[in-house]
A and B are shown apart, each in its own frame.
Chain A
Amino acid sequence: MKTWLDAWPVFRQLTGNDPLGRGTAARSKATEQVVSRTATADHVAKSVCPFCAVGCAQKVYVEDGRITQIEGDPDSPVNRGRLCPKGAASKQLVTSPTRVTKVRYRRPYGTEWEDLELDTAMEMIADRVLEARRKGWQEEDGPPGNRHRVNRTMGIASLGGATLDNEENYLMKKLYSAMGAIQIENQARI
């Protein structure tokens, strides 16, 4: 027969089958009703932490098209489910309210940011790439008497890659090389 005493965890601990009070004895009605965000997720994407190079596997929980939780993946031989403070904060990284989600534009000698449509920005950047490529084009280079064909542009440079995917680095190197840009660098240089 259930009595008021049953609601008292110490009583359940002393009389029940949980003498250490770490299981059923400690569970309240409120506890029973709590459901973890991970349990109600619509799907779980398998991912990898974006901070250092240890490569901790992550599980990304998604509900209604939004990320509700990111945890270490216990299946991984590398991290065995663990994440460090940065990895554990990666939900904040991807859901940060200060993330910039609109293109920003600063005109030459301007004092303010302005709005710009993404498509317009892409066309403007393409214009500038072609112009810079032309301006910095070198058919040959070297001191007089020792000139060699180089077939390149010195007008365009690029920096970054170590935080990006292999596939992205690949398209970057491929496109830059085809346009003749050589001053392509990333964090491996620092």
Chain B
Amino acid sequence: MPGLGASFGRGGATNFLEDLSNSDCIVIEGSNMAECHPVGFQWVMEAKARGAKIVHIDPRFTRTSAVADLHVPLRVGTDIAFLGGLIRYVLENDLYFREYVVAYTNASALVGEDFVDTEELDGLFSGFDPETNHYDEASWQYEPEEPPHSGSDDPAEAAEQERSEQHPDVKESDRAQAAGSGGPPIPAKPKRDETLEHPRTVFQVLKRHFARYTPEMVAEVCGIEPAVFEQVAKWVTENSNRERTTAWVYSVGWTQHSVGAQYIRTASILQTLLGNIGRPGGGIMALRGHASIQGSTDVPTLFNLLPGYLPMPHAMQHQTLDEYCADAAGKAGFWGNKRAYTVSLLKAWFGDAAQPENDFRFDWIPKINGDHSSYRTIADMIQGKVSGYFLVGENPTVGHPNGRMNRFGLANLDWLVVRDLQMIESATFWNESPEIETGELAPETIGTEVFFLPAASHVEKEGTFTQTQRMLQWREKAVEPPGDARSDLWFYFHLGRILRSRLEGSTDPRDQALLHLTWDYPVHGETQDPDASAVLREINGTGPDGRALSTYIDMKDDGSTTGGCWIYTGVYADEVNQAARRKPAREQGAVASEWGWVWPLNRRILYNRASADPDGNPWSERKKYVYWDEAAGEWTGPDVPDFEETKRPDYVPPEGAKAQDALAGNDPFVMQGDGKAWLYAPAGLVDGPLPTHYEPVESVAENAFYKQQASPTIERIEGPWNRENPSMSEVFPFQVTTYRLTEHHTAGGMSRTLPYLSELQPEFFVEVSPELAALRGLTHGDYATLVSTRTAIEAKVLVTERVRPIRLRGGQVVHQIGMPYHWSYSGISTGDSANDLLGIALDANTHIQEDKVSTCDIVAGRRPRGSEMLEFVESYRRRAGVASGRVGVNGRAPVEGSTGHAETGS
């Protein structure tokens, strides 16, 4: 979550669910919390019962809206305009929390003279290169306190790093996400003007940037009436001060946009100006959608990360450990210890083979040099560049946008391993997919060898999930898995064991990493299941004495400590599995510190030093949380301080101080190089230091703010299987948005296979307004066909006032269609797949697709079948002036180039 990482230093929810009950106002935006996180929603209701105002901002009226004090429908894809309007309201009316802003944010920092804002360049920031569609961030930097120096032990190396940072191949490798725990590096601390008057202070830059985001513009762009906007602004600002706090809640309604990271940045700026970060009842609550999606980012199965948000080494920058650590060496903040975290990881992986004289085998880690994210890989598969694919608890032909493209990818592999509980669609694409019916795929032409290996369920194995508020909870094993079903721990352990035995005795340099891997986990039982607690202990790490470490602060860069994921150090403190703690909530305080374990170091509210004023006193008695106890000489409170416990509030770093010692006693954002929350991000995001309203890739409206219609940095993957609907096209006149239901889960493998859930939500439907139904002759309960340049799908029509046409100021009426995405052809409850309708266009920060907003047409009746279907969709493409979507065998031809992609063929 780079939006949060670049703002505060860590890419995780800042607060915890139960803490929502301490809020005085809760704004839920980009989330239907009551239906998608129903049990977490009890804490919102708890807050409401205590008198909090609840606002729901969403295109659709849902069960969340039903219990909110106010539901604000807005046009899909316009949240930045709305939030930008709130930022302007706060700044123009002097409603920001001045003491907090001056002390804890970069508001007073001076931006360099070269920076030019979107206001002057009609929607572009300075540094844009139209050839590559990339920004050079050099002009976004602060004006440094002194002539720029890196603070590094090796200034020449660091300078080289900073230059190569701007290379397109490096920018494509998704460095933003590496801010998951540790803000982006900056060359030097900035000059500051604490009066905030200097025209180049971040504060003044911010004011100018959002000056045109007036209530009238919000009405024109979002379709929200000024009186309604005013009401939201009043509630939010009245509930954000010393005595009161407001919380913001979002989920994938924000991330799945071409400017998704900037959505979150906009909310971060607003919440920072209001002084709501690091305080009880405040914060930004990111609601994540899978049991351990936070965990799989912390301990990443992601191409661009190593455990603990260490970046994957980049071929152009990181050939040695010194080069890899150069950007952090000597820097302020906890990121300054990057070398200790990295060396401990290499020791955990390669054991005795990793020694100082061989650079701790840093060279054994493979290097990236561009975008190797999943959609790019699918396109590579279609071109036959990938041999084998593992699908482990993910069902991309249903859960990913553009199912057809995903299926073409699978059809061009040599082999595919699917590990799941049920026979999911991604395993049966070769004989059951919609393209079999259209004749685009046939088993006889598909050479992919498919292995389906049954997986153990959550009760048939032990281990930890990390849930939405960074909490690890250990699960005990209840029963053995049935038949051939095995845990994924079993699968990878034994696959590794077999591979290592095959390679035994090899002297080939490329085999040495595998052969020297620490891979001797204890095994249990008849099936030889590896011991998950031993793996968790390895993740935690050990000290020179061989005992489990209690904190990552004890990690060393000399090879005397190990640790597989530094941010998880402490989960096995005192040789005890802290994630297994289950002290009943009623037997402990509201923070419940003895239930499970939260990273980092069991801190439940992040940046909680900011819950006290610069002198260390609580901002108010009502919002007292972590504060300085002068008598004891330490920070105290109900939570673990997210600060060095004995660092005085008046501590001033001495000249030449490094890492955490370079942060002052009033710098609460300890992972940032300057200790501050970033209103303006001089680094860390590839599409701009400030959020800017752009229209979605596929929009029915013109950008009312700037000539630049959509984000200039959008990443596209081009091919006949991924056409784009032109914006403002009469052929695709409606906006469509996707969402989840309470009764189903993601791609449906865990819910459409269950009788209870299938009975509760038995078929695929789309929600349309009575106005749209009248316009297109749609009948409630009958079928309708939705068409895009990708394909056509059919669904039952639900005519409901829950979806309303949005009237923009200019008189334009925007019709929006709601579409749950859980269905496909397998299981008990079946239907067409919503994701087949969508294309893939990506946020360049995250490589996440924009599927919360796209365009389509909708007509009454069922879709055509067989080859007629292909002609039907092709006719839409012709009418819209889009290139053909017809493909050769298995989607392989024709081959087309892509934009924003460096060719990586060897």
Give the complex CA separation of A45 and B477 in angstroms: 7
Say if the beta carbon of A125 comes within 8 Å of chain B: yes
Give the complex CA separation of A84 and B460 in angstroms: 21
Of the candidates B366, B499, B510, B568, which one forms a contact with A129 in the assembled complex, judged by CB atoms under 8 Å apart? B499
Give the complex CA separation of A53 and B298 in angstroms: 14
Of the candidates B37, B381, B421, B849, which one forms a contact with A52 in the assembled complex, judged by CB atoms under 8 Å apart? B37
Say if the beta carbon of A164 comes within 8 Å of chain B: yes
Which A residues are closer than 8 A to B by beta carbons? 43, 45-57, 60, 62, 65-67, 70, 72-80, 82-90, 92-94, 96, 98-111, 113, 116, 118, 121-126, 128-132, 135-138, 140-143, 148-175, 177-190
- Rounded to whole Å, the gap between the CB of A38 and the closest CB of chain B is 13
A130 with B510, Cβ < 8 A, contacts A148-B316, A157-B386 known: no
CB <8 Å contact, B535 and A171: yes
Give the complex CA separation of A105 and B513 in angstroms: 31
- Rounded to whole Å, the gap between the CB of B513 and the closest CB of chain A is 4
CB <8 Å contact, B495 and A129: yes
Give the complex CA separation of A177 and B499 in angstroms: 13
Q: Would you list 24 pairs from A and B whose C-beta atoms are within 8 A, ordered by A residue?
A: A60-B459, A77-B18, A78-B595, A85-B743, A100-B423, A126-B499, A130-B502, A137-B510, A141-B369, A142-B315, A148-B315, A149-B363, A154-B904, A156-B389, A159-B374, A159-B390, A161-B300, A161-B394, A166-B295, A168-B489, A175-B496, A182-B367, A187-B296, A189-B846
- Rounded to whole Å, the gap between the CB of A111 and the closest CB of chain B is 5
CB <8 Å contact, A184 and B302: yes
Q: Which residues of B contact A52 (CB under 8 A)?
A: 36-37, 288-291, 468, 745
A67 with B489, Cβ < 8 A, contacts A162-B292, A188-B297 known: no
CB <8 Å contact, B390 and A165: no
Give the complex CA separation of A103 and B770 in angstroms: 49
Q: Which residues of B contact A184 (CB under 8 A)?
A: 301-303
CB <8 Å contact, A75 and B301: no
Q: Which residues of B contact A167 (CB under 8 A)?
A: 463-464, 489, 532, 535-536, 539
Say if the beta carbon of B163 comes within 8 Å of chain A: no
Give the complex CA separation of A104 and B819 in angstroms: 33
CB <8 Å contact, B443 and A121: no
Say if the beta carbon of B155 comes within 8 Å of chain A: no
A53 with B485, Cβ < 8 A, contacts A135-B387, A161-B392, A187-B399 known: no
Of the candidates B297, B366, B459, B580, which one forms a contact with A67 in the assembled complex, judged by CB atoms under 8 Å apart? B459
Residue of A nearest to B368 (CB): A182
Give the complex CA separation of A144 and B469 in angstroms: 46
CB <8 Å contact, A53 and B564: no
Give the complex CA separation of A85 and B754 in angstroms: 11
A173 with B454, Cβ < 8 A, contacts A84-B38, A161-B392, A166-B466 known: no
Say if the beta carbon of B494 comes within 8 Å of chain A: yes
Of the candidates A53, A76, A87, A178, which one forms a contact with B514 in the assembled complex, judged by CB atoms under 8 Å apart? A178
Of the candidates A108, A129, A174, which one forms a contact with B449 in the assembled complex, judged by CB atoms under 8 Å apart? A108
Residue of A nearest to B476 (CB): A45
Q: Which residues of B contact A75 (CB under 8 A)?
A: 582-586, 595
Q: Which residues of B contact A136 (CB under 8 A)?
A: 385-387
- Rounded to whole Å, the gap between the CB of A156 and the closest CB of chain B is 5
Say if the beta carbon of B601 comes within 8 Å of chain A: no
The 6 residue pairs across chains A and B that have the minimum distance between CB atoms: A55-B467, A165-B463, A101-B483, A161-B301, A152-B366, A160-B392
Determine which residue in A126, A152, A165 has the highest number of CB atoms from chain B within 10 A of its CB, and name it: A165
A53 with B454, Cβ < 8 A, contacts A86-B743, A148-B316 known: no
Q: Which residues of B contact A102 (CB under 8 A)?
A: 454, 483-484
* B442-467 near A? 1/0 per residue, CB < 8 Å: 01111111111110011111011111
Q: Which residues of A contact B584 (CB under 8 A)?
A: 74-75
Give the complex CA separation of A164 and B367 in angstroms: 25
Of the candidates A60, A94, A172, which one forms a contact with B488 in the assembled complex, judged by CB atoms under 8 Å apart? A172
Residues facing A in B301-346 (CB within 8 A) are 301-303, 306-307, 312, 315-316, 319
A182 with B372, Cβ < 8 A, contacts A154-B906, A156-B387, A169-B301 known: yes
- Rounded to whole Å, the gap between the CB of B347 and the closest CB of chain A is 13
Give the complex CA separation of A186 and B299 in angstroms: 11
- Rounded to whole Å, the gap between the CB of B517 and the closest CB of chain A is 5
Q: Which residues of B contact A155 (CB under 8 A)?
A: 386-388
Q: Which residues of A contact B483 (CB under 8 A)?
A: 101-102
Of the candidates A85, A103, A132, A152, which one forms a contact with B484 in the assembled complex, judged by CB atoms under 8 Å apart? A103
- Rounded to whole Å, the gap between the CB of B485 and the closest CB of chain A is 6
CB <8 Å contact, A50 and B374: no
Give the complex CA separation of A82 and B38 in angstroms: 10
Give the complex CA separation of A147 and B521 in angstroms: 38
Give the complex CA separation of A89 and B390 in angstroms: 28
Say if the beta carbon of B632 comes within 8 Å of chain A: no
Of the candidates B367, B419, B449, B742, which one forms a contact with A84 in the assembled complex, judged by CB atoms under 8 Å apart? B742
CB <8 Å contact, B535 and A190: no
CB <8 Å contact, B291 and A92: no
Give the complex CA separation of A51 and B747 in angstroms: 12
Say if the beta carbon of B727 comes within 8 Å of chain A: no
CB <8 Å contact, A87 and B422: no
Say if the beta carbon of B159 comes within 8 Å of chain A: no
CB <8 Å contact, A179 and B394: no
CB <8 Å contact, A82 and B754: no
Q: Which residues of A contact B364 (CB under 8 A)?
A: 151, 178
Say if the beta carbon of B396 comes within 8 Å of chain A: yes
Q: Which residues of B contact A126 (CB under 8 A)?
A: 495, 498-499, 502
Give the complex CA separation of A154 and B38 in angstroms: 41
CB <8 Å contact, B471 and A152: no
CB <8 Å contact, B904 and A141: yes
Q: Which residues of A contact B454 (CB under 8 A)?
A: 99-103
Determine which residue in A85, A123, A163, A182 has the highest number of CB atoms from chain B within 10 A of its CB, and name it: A163
A180 with B499, Cβ < 8 A, contacts A48-B458, A96-B421, A166-B463 known: no
- Rounded to whole Å, the gap between the CB of B125 and the closest CB of chain A is 26
CB <8 Å contact, A108 and B460: no
* B516-542 near A? 1/0 per residue, CB < 8 Å: 010000000000001010011011000
Residue of A nearest to B36 (CB): A52
Q: Which residues of A contact B422 (CB under 8 A)?
A: 96, 98-100
Of the candidates B291, B319, B486, which one forms a contact with A48 in the assembled complex, judged by CB atoms under 8 Å apart? B291
Q: Which residues of B contact A150 (CB under 8 A)?
A: 315, 366-369
CB <8 Å contact, B457 and A158: no
Q: Which residues of B contact A125 (CB under 8 A)?
A: 415, 417, 451, 495
Give the complex CA separation of A60 and B756 in angstroms: 19
* B880-906 near A? 1/0 per residue, CB < 8 Å: 000000000000000000000001101
CB <8 Å contact, B372 and A178: no
CB <8 Å contact, B301 and A186: yes
CB <8 Å contact, A171 and B492: yes
Say if the beta carbon of B287 comes within 8 Å of chain A: yes
